[in-house]
Amino acid sequence: MSDQIKFIVDSLNKEPFKKNYNLITFDSLGPMQLLQVLNDVLAEIDPKEHLPSGLGDWK
């Protein structure tokens, strides 16, 4: 599992995301922050599918 998380963190730190995470900061992200990271990744893959950036606005 830790190898998978390290791969995710390493990938998020590269182009096009440039998130600047380490294992500790990534592990400390809350559920809404992780959802925002997922949204950012999906938006990069397919910009048409970008969700609202204010995830707190979802009902």
pLDDT digits (tens, 9 = 90+) for 3-51: 999 999 999 999 999 999 999 999 999 999 999 999 899 889 887 766 6
Higher-pLDDT residue of 53, 13: 13
What's the pTM value of the predicted model, to 2 decimals? Answer: 0.74
DSSP output for 19-47: ----HHHHHT--HHHHHHHHHHHHHHH-G
**Residue 59 scores a pLDDT above 60:** no
Report how far residue 28's alpha carbon sits from residue 11's, in angstroms, rounded to the nearest whole number. Answer: 17
Q: Looking at the predicted structure, is the pLDDT value of residue 54 above 70?
A: no
What residue ranges do the domains of the chain occupy?
Answer: 2-57
